[in-house]
Structure 1
Amino acid sequence: MRPQRRRDFLKTSGALLGGLFAGSTVVAAERTDRFVVKTNTVSRLERAGLDVVYDLTPANVAVVEGSESDLSGVSSSYAPDIEVRLQEPDVNGSAPTEAHDEPGYPVQWDKQDQQIPDVHEVTRGEGTRVAVIDTGVAASHPDLEHTVNESLSRDFTGDGFGAGVPAGGSHGTHCAGIIAANDANDEGVVGSAPGTEIVDCRVFSTTEGASFADILAAILYSVEIGCDAANLSLGAYPVPREANGDFYGKVLNSTLTYANKEGTVLAIAAGNDSADLQHDKNFISLPNEGAQAFSVAATGPKGFMFDAGDDAEGPESPAFYTNYGTNAIDIAAPGGDALLDAIETHPDTWFFDLVYNTLSTPTYENGEYVGATHEYGWKAGTSMATPQVAAAVALVKSVKPDLNANQVKSLLKNTASVPEGYDKTYYGSGYLDVLAAIES
């Protein structure tokens, strides 16, 4: 795979597809030298002198590098590659990390609420595989070294730092820990499906963005290696439906439909913009609004480790930042919440309402990745809710291996329910119930 030239992404305001809405942390910027093409063959593209970076023709897609003039001579169905960024609520910037290895289950409200110890009496996710398409997963983290398949892991960025490393930041390691942190090593934290196998598909490097094309390629690779689920805690919003936005949506639809048909459930974060995805008809949220995406909203407690008074809420309550929309959301899961006033009034305990799990912070010297510091800490977001669902897919497939992707999603939705007193708008089919799903 040839290196990807991230410096070719345009950073000017004129290249912005979506811009910034209030509360949004996502910008989608066009690239000038690389294009996503709708096609079922790459031969004409190669004959035109274009460099085929990714042959994704099983999903009727290809990614090429070269001049637009050469491309326009052989195809009219294309658009520039774009940049997708991570979505994290601002509260994560205030959350602490911890470098010690003290057992962390007592503060894992998410695993307690999902009755994960009882789930593990039935299955730990053995015999399954989950791809984490993110900033990189630290294979050497003491709570993940048992689960990451480094030989199958891939670096899609072309930065040369490799795979099985958190070269793009700690986000991917946190997601992987939520899925599969070791429950049998008497240290650290617990994952929902510690018996599953994690494949690191790194699409983020030292820059803030990830290539849309790299993400598509990582999805197809996840299918190729037989992943039961792929976790995508990333996105771009708002992308206008007009012009290229419609094209990106169609390319995404064909890619996700192919993956779903081949048996890989795509758990995708709904986003953290507090946006009504049901009624924003002029915009697209990529990739969670693609066909066959299993879109995940976030919930969390208020006052898990402190007295929140009248503001107290349980783990199933909608998080303040989560995107929503009855038909736009498939399911809700624990992603963490926060009382913003409590950051000042309860500085030592407010962050316990976030999700606690594995972290690995990368270190660089002279621009080269030299290692990572393994830690534990708190994050919130639909990014944290999504791996809860990816893990649930692994757990279901472990006990019901003959189910296809649609059947797995239906089972998770049918065993979920909307909590009493809350609106379906924030839940889709309901709040994730892992134990009910594996026992049904």
Structure 2
Amino acid sequence: MSQHNRRTFLRLTGTAIGAATLGAGTATATTSDSRFFINLRDVDRSAIPDDVEIIHDLSQADVLVARGDQDRVNGTTVADRVIDRGDDRTGAVKSRDGPTTDGKGSSHNHDGPPKNSELQWDKREQGVSNELTDKPGGGKSIHDTTTGAGTRVAVVDSGVYDAHPDLADVVNDELSENVTQDEYDWRPNGAGSHGTHVAGTIAATNSNDGPDGGVLGTAPDTEIVSYRMFSGEEGKQGDGYAAWMKAAEADCDVINYSVGIPAPYVYVDEYPYLTEELRIAEQIAAYVRSQGTVIVNSAGNDSLNMSPENTLSIPTEAEGVFGVAATGPIGMGWGGKHSDNEAKWLTGNRLEDPTDSPAFYTNYGNAVDVSAAGGDADRDALDRIPEAERDLVYSTIVKTTYEDGPDDDEDDPVNRPSEIIDTEPGYGWKAGTSMAAPQVAGAAALVRSLRPDASVEEVESLIQDTAGSAPGGETYHGAGHLDLKRLVKRAE
């Protein structure tokens, strides 16, 4: 990745604080029962006190995730991070629920309500399949060459709802795992639909036989392995890293990690122990890559310039992590004189902003390797015009009903898993770099399906070398904007 010199600078100037504790927007545990990382390159394992519990043994990367009194461990330790998805910068910036899988959309033009796949501007723009509706006369599509068969993608997230008809037989339930310490399985169990949306973007099969059909993923014949690292709204970075290791050992070709730490926990001057957190992330990433697994990570939603030397966004800026920024349109099927004309609407004619323009929220700078479709929004219009949600990314979700009745906010922290009384598959819109990363994870699966023996470096280089130019240039897109047509043609 391009931030080599920066990382060297940070290592030379940063101060590692062994007993630092920090939660991202949440209170941390007390010192005596806190979770933390132990770096075995600086700590003799035999010297770790017996009453320090090892939660995850990641010793292949010389890392342990522990719980207990951090101050009693002599050597380099750093607090495990609490990631709060209640902060929209750590998940989807904007979300809107759509219809259930047997529902009907609202009419938008003369020929009736849109089919679900008609709302997938991201897949139509990339020419993924002739099953989609904007390819009059056909022509060769991505799926005429490959659908990702023979590959495996890990979704390290809030769980995947495999009862969705477009995700049926997609998830490997034997390899999937709950990596948290709660008692539930790897499905969402009240942790929200973020992971299900991500999984659909990668591998939805368009199998819904309801009146409006389904949605289609980039690599519908890949296999998803679900690692749930969120319990309700909260997840821990250590659980996420444990899932990376498990994914590599399960022969996953790609890890999709749409997770990160928001500002202000990116400023080294204020939080110098970030340099030690970077070291932990890089040790784990190095092991994962040595097993042949690509790590794709969302760049973050703070509109943050990651280039300054005092800024460090983890894990995006770790060596070995492939960072993805987000783009999206403004005006997809709304707001113009052609919004009632399906032929114009489906081809994105009269857009205010093109689909490859930087999203308002995306992080940018030299930690970005490529950009991809994550959705954008006219925020004023989104609050007033229902159709404005079409600028977000449309994919699979799970709708959850709780004992206290329907809740518009599926991630409300009072809605714990024990309160769930019903779940139902559906579709919805989300925008975020979380939605851009799975576009690239799916693309990596397509590459591996064509070149099973391609190294991690070869997969990443192919994606970067075939990326196209886009508004904003290298600052917002790194090597460029994901171009599946060029990528698949080069990989054949």
Give the TM bin, normalised by the shorter chain. Answer: 0.7 to 0.9
Separation of aligned partners in 2, 1:42 and 1:375: 50
**What is the deviation of 1:216?**
1.0
1:396 and 1:380, CA in 2 relative to 1: closer, same or farther beyond 3 A? same
Is the CA contact 1:150–1:164 (under 8 Å) kept in the aligned structure 2? no
Separation of aligned partners in 1, 2:188 and 2:311: 34
**Are 1:282 and 2:310 counterparts?**
yes
Larger deviation, residues 363-372 vs 289-298: 363-372
Of structures 1 and 2, the larger Rg is shown by: 2
Separation of aligned partners in 2, 1:284 and 1:308: 41
AA aligned opposite 1:198: I
**Are 1:272 and 2:284 counterparts?**
no
1:51 and 1:141, CA in 2 relative to 1: closer, same or farther beyond 3 A? same
Is the CA contact 2:94–2:431 (under 8 Å) kept in the aligned structure 1? no
Q: Which digits, 9 at most, give the CA deviation of each residue in 1:273-317, with x for residues without a partner? A: 1111112x3232121111111100000011011235997011111
Tell me the SS of whatever aligns to 2:398.
strand
Q: Which digits, 9 at most, give the CA deviation of each residue in 1:327-376, with x for residues without a partner? A: 2100000000011232255x121000000110013445585255522110
Is the CA contact 1:417–1:431 (under 8 Å) kept in the aligned structure 2? yes
Number of equivalences: 411
AA aligned opposite 1:250: R
**Are 1:81 and 2:93 counterparts?**
no
Is the CA contact 1:28–1:82 (under 8 Å) kept in the aligned structure 2? no
Is the CA contact 1:148–1:164 (under 8 Å) kept in the aligned structure 2? no
**Are 1:171 and 2:199 counterparts?**
no
AA aligned opposite 1:273: D
**What is the deviation of 1:96?**
3.5
Is the CA contact 2:170–2:223 (under 8 Å) kept in the aligned structure 1? yes
Separation of aligned partners in 2, 1:34 and 1:45: 18
Separation of aligned partners in 1, 2:289 and 2:27: 28
Equivalent in 205, 209, 212 of residue 234 of structure 2: 209
Separation of aligned partners in 2, 1:97 and 1:185: 15
Normalised TM-score (structure 1): 0.87
Instruction: Within 5 Å, give how 1:382-397 maps onto structure 2.
Output: 382-397=433-448
Aligned match of 1:64: 66
Q: Which digits, 9 at most, give the CA deviation of each residue in 1:53-76, with x for residues without a partner? A: 11101111011222234323xxx1
Is the CA contact 2:323–2:368 (under 8 Å) kept in the aligned structure 1? yes
Structure 2 residue runs of 5 or longer lacking an equivalent are 1-19, 105-114, 130-140, 338-349, 404-415
Separation of aligned partners in 2, 1:185 and 1:361: 16
Separation of aligned partners in 2, 1:29 and 1:404: 41
**Are 1:317 and 2:342 counterparts?**
no
**What is the deviation of 1:141?**
1.2
Is the CA contact 2:203–2:220 (under 8 Å) kept in the aligned structure 1? yes
Separation of aligned partners in 1, 2:248 and 2:26: 26
Instruction: Within 5 Å, give how 1:246-265 maps onto structure 2.
Output: 246-265=275-294
AA aligned opposite 1:56: L
Separation of aligned partners in 2, 1:233 and 1:219: 12
Separation of aligned partners in 2, 1:364 and 1:263: 41
Equivalent in 34, 56, 61 of residue 54 of structure 1: 56
**Are 1:233 and 2:229 counterparts?**
no
Q: Which digits, 9 at most, give the CA deviation of each residue in 1:13-59, with x for residues without a partner? A: xx9848xxxxxxx6375443222010158841566442211110111
1:153 and 1:214, CA in 2 relative to 1: closer, same or farther beyond 3 A? same
**Are 1:198 and 2:224 counterparts?**
yes
1:98 and 1:226, CA in 2 relative to 1: closer, same or farther beyond 3 A? same
Is the CA contact 1:134–1:233 (under 8 Å) kept in the aligned structure 2? yes
* Moved beyond 6 Å, runs of 4+: none
Tell me the SS of whatever aligns to 2:428.
strand
Aligned match of 1:414: 465
Aligned match of 2:246: 221
**Are 1:97 and 2:98 counterparts?**
yes
Is the CA contact 1:252–1:290 (under 8 Å) kept in the aligned structure 2? yes
Separation of aligned partners in 1, 2:439 and 2:417: 34
**What is the deviation of 1:220?**
0.6
**What is the deviation of 1:430?**
0.3
Instruction: Within 5 Å, give how 1:285-300 maps onto structure 2.
Output: 285-300=313-328
Is the CA contact 1:301–1:316 (under 8 Å) kept in the aligned structure 2? yes
1:370 and 1:165, CA in 2 relative to 1: closer, same or farther beyond 3 A? farther
Normalised TM-score (structure 2): 0.78
Larger deviation, residues 225-234 vs 60-69: 60-69
Is the CA contact 1:193–1:394 (under 8 Å) kept in the aligned structure 2? yes
Separation of aligned partners in 2, 1:384 and 1:276: 19
Q: How high is the sequence identity, in percent, across the aligned residues?
A: 38
Is the CA contact 2:326–2:362 (under 8 Å) kept in the aligned structure 1? yes
1:82 and 1:45, CA in 2 relative to 1: closer, same or farther beyond 3 A? farther
**Are 1:350 and 2:388 counterparts?**
yes
Separation of aligned partners in 1, 2:116 and 2:417: 34
Aligned match of 1:10: none
Aligned match of 1:402: 453
